[in-house]
Structure 1
Amino acid sequence: MMPGPDLARAAEDLVGTRFRLHGRHPEHGLDCLGVLAAALRAIGRSGDLPTDYAWRNANPDRAVHMAGRWGFVAVEGAAMPGDVILLRMGAAALHFVIAVSGGAFVHAHAGQRRVLRTPVMPEGEIVQHWRLAPDIHAASNV
């Protein structure tokens, strides 16, 4: 199992899903963290991510702290398919994007009211760059 490419494909399968703040299920709508949750569930990983956050939230500490619990490790360098990047969008908003094939990114866009695949990363300051660690338990069951 290649967790990064699998996560990227699962994220791409969500393109076109409608936007919904705090949304966690494709049939009801997703926000940017909901895209990550749904993609993780699709590849058999825990997709139970928090919904108790404000629309405007400039503090990344909670996400950084929880990333290890979600199975991610911090990395540097170019984004690879399946990498998750946390962006600061302006002064008071954080936004998760998932790198996919062809150098593109999948993310929930509130203004467009849907999950998009964009050819470049949305503009913003990179706060953190994570890569999904291999699932040791799944590998031992093969």
Structure 2
Amino acid sequence: MDELGPRAFAAARTMVGVTFRPQGYDPATGLDCVGLVWAAYAAAGRRLARPVGYPLRGWARAQVEAGLVHAGFVPVVGDGRGGDVMLIAYPAGQFHLGLMGLDRLVHAHAGLRRVVETPISGLDGVACWRLEQCPPRCD
């Protein structure tokens, strides 16, 4: 079994408390939800093709999913597992990413202005994505 996903989740947990920063990819200067996922996987040993220039709101779900596919993620059929990326759909066309543990989610919370760990239960509109063993492109 590949331990990359659980290592990425463990790395994300070390980033709890890091400042939220739009377009942020470096835990030293701040992270947004995309940057958290990419920084966690980099800390776990896998550099991913990184999206640039994405807005905080207004992207269609297809655009968000295309970015995940470009980085090497595939949709999960069935239950998610540790290290999978949760794609959460909020009202008004806003999408959010976080890294799953067994029953926890680590994500960069714009309202709280920091990376947090929260329970997964109660989240609506969620899809899970898993990194392929051999992604098509890396940074």
TM interval, shorter chain, is 0.7 to 0.9
Deviation string, structure 1 residues 21-80 (Cα, Å, up to 9, x no partner) = 110100110000010110121122124422312221240222322323322221122221
Aligned residues: 134
Residue type matched to 1:67 in 2?
A: L
Aligned counterpart, 1:105: 105
How far apart, CA to CA, are the structure 1 residues paired with 2:61 and 2:129? 13
How far apart, CA to CA, are the structure 1 residues paired with 2:123 and 2:133? 29
Could you tell me which runs of 5 or more consecutive residues in structure 1 were left unpaired when the two chains were aligned.
137-142
Q: How far did 1:122 drift?
A: 6.6
- Whether contact under 8 Å (1:18, 1:115) holds in the other structure is yes
Deviation string, structure 1 residues 72-122 (Cα, Å, up to 9, x no partner) = 221122221101011111122110011024x10000001111000102257
Aligned counterpart, 2:70: 69
Q: How far did 1:7 drift?
A: 1.3
Aligned counterpart, 1:49: 50
What's the TM-score once normalised by structure 1's chain length?
Answer: 0.83
1:119 maps onto 2:119 in alignment: yes
How far apart, CA to CA, are the structure 1 residues paired with 2:131 and 2:83? 7
Aligned counterpart, 1:3: 4
Could you tell me which runs of 5 or more consecutive residues in structure 2 were left unpaired when the two chains were aligned.
none
- Whether contact under 8 Å (2:51, 2:67) holds in the other structure is no
How far apart, CA to CA, are the structure 2 residues paired with 1:47 and 1:24? 12
Aligned counterpart, 2:36: 35
Q: How far did 1:134 drift?
A: 2.3
Instruction: Report which stretch shifted further, 55-64 or 25-34.
Output: 55-64
Percentage identity across paired residues of the two chains: 36
Residue type matched to 1:117 in 2?
A: E
How far apart, CA to CA, are the structure 2 residues paired with 1:110 and 1:125? 19
Aligned counterpart, 1:95: 96
What's the TM-score once normalised by structure 2's chain length?
Answer: 0.85
- Whether contact under 8 Å (1:86, 1:129) holds in the other structure is yes
